[in-house]
Copies of this chain bind each other. A is one copy, B any other.
């Protein structure tokens, strides 16, 4: 059973949904309407040895745990407001370092920490639960329609390149390492996209090749992604090639970009692109069925993203 089957087996067993729950589990966040306002809730856990290794300082881990949750709220078109943070650490110095990173991220993203738990554990482990406010109806994974274009914010592969560098024992290039250790969730772009009425949105955590499949499955559609159109910067290409990796494949599968993948009509994407501070790049289109990745007119097979129990 993989992670997604696990989630579906849980979803299938849930009882009646309380009236406040507008979106149950299965999207970037659940959505609950409390007192006339919609709130987005999600949690994400980082574990030493699996999500990071000795190359990440406890401060980076704390920061990233908040950032990846903020990204889930961004993917619904929401504004992150509150977090709870539970941390397990081998000693109080590591715990405190991690909390420093959590507080730095709270300040950066305008999030207020409501508490949580600190405990001892052999492996540094941080779980953050986030509560975001949704000024507009949430943007779900399930709204993509044939004829929509697919676009991504920012750039792809930078985090994966930073990860390759860190795993290879390099501390540089600093920009790429930083993109891996301290991702920049796209809250502004997500808000804009939501206000402009995009059809579907997801944040890129598992990697484009995997996350675009989530959107297609939930929307009952297919897609055609052109690898040449992925926004891959020069330093990412260089670093990927220095490790013998195909830059576009890395960008499509590396994961942890924490960019937004958006499905919307061309006109909406043009408005978004013009209003957004981060670049918005069209990378493909939504079709009736079948997920394909194309380069030089040929299908590229076997691209897939991350599965935690795969």
Binding site for B on A (CB under 8 A): 1-3, 6-7, 9-10, 13-15, 17-18, 20-21, 24-26, 29-30, 32, 34-37, 39, 41-45, 47, 49-51, 81-82, 84-88, 91-92, 95-96, 99, 103, 107, 112-123, 125, 127, 129, 131, 308-309
- Given A7-B118, A32-B114: 5 more A-B contacts, CB < 8 Å: A6-B99, A24-B115, A25-B116, A42-B116, A123-B123
- Check A114 against B41 for contact (C-beta < 8 Å): yes
Chain B residues with CB below 8 A from A308, complex form: 118-120
Pairs A–B under 8 Å by Cβ, sample size 10 = A3-B118, A10-B113, A35-B35, A41-B84, A42-B84, A45-B88, A45-B125, A47-B119, A50-B119, A86-B127
Complex CA distance for A129 and B126, rounded to whole angstroms: 13
A298 to B210 Cα, complex, angstroms: 67
A119 to chain B: which residues have CB within 8 Å?
3, 45, 47, 50-51, 308
Q: Which of A9, A17, A88, A99 has the most CB of B within 10 A?
A: A88
**Chain B proximity of A80: nearest CB distance (Å):** 12
> Assembly of this chain: how many copies?
2
Question: Nearest 3 pairs between A and B by C-beta?
Answer: A35-B35, A25-B115, A129-B129
8 Å CB contact of A50 from B32, B47, B121: B121
CB contacts (< 8 Å) of A35 on chain B: these are 34-37
A121-B129 in contact given A37-B34, A45-B88 (Cβ < 8 Å): no
Please pick, from B18, B25, B309, the residue contacting A81 in the complex, using a CB distance under 8 A: B18
The answer, among B47, B82, B99, for a CB contact under 8 Å with A121, is: B47
Q: How far is the CA of A107 from the CA of B117 in the complex (A)?
A: 24
CB distance from A116 to the nearest CB of B (A): 5
Bound-complex Cα distance A47 to B3 (A): 20
Question: How many angstroms from the CA of A30 to the CA of B131 in the assembled complex?
Answer: 13
**Docked CA distance A36–B34 (Å):** 9
- In the complex, which of the residues B6, B43, B103 contacts A129, with contact meaning CB atoms closer than 8 Å? B43
Q: How far is the CA of A36 from the CA of B33 in the complex (A)?
A: 12
**B125 and A30: CB pair below 8 A?**
no
Q: Is the CB of A112 within 8 A of B17?
A: yes
A114, B10: Cβ atoms closer than 8 Å? no
Most chain B CB within a 10 A radius of its CB, from A21, A42, A127 = A127
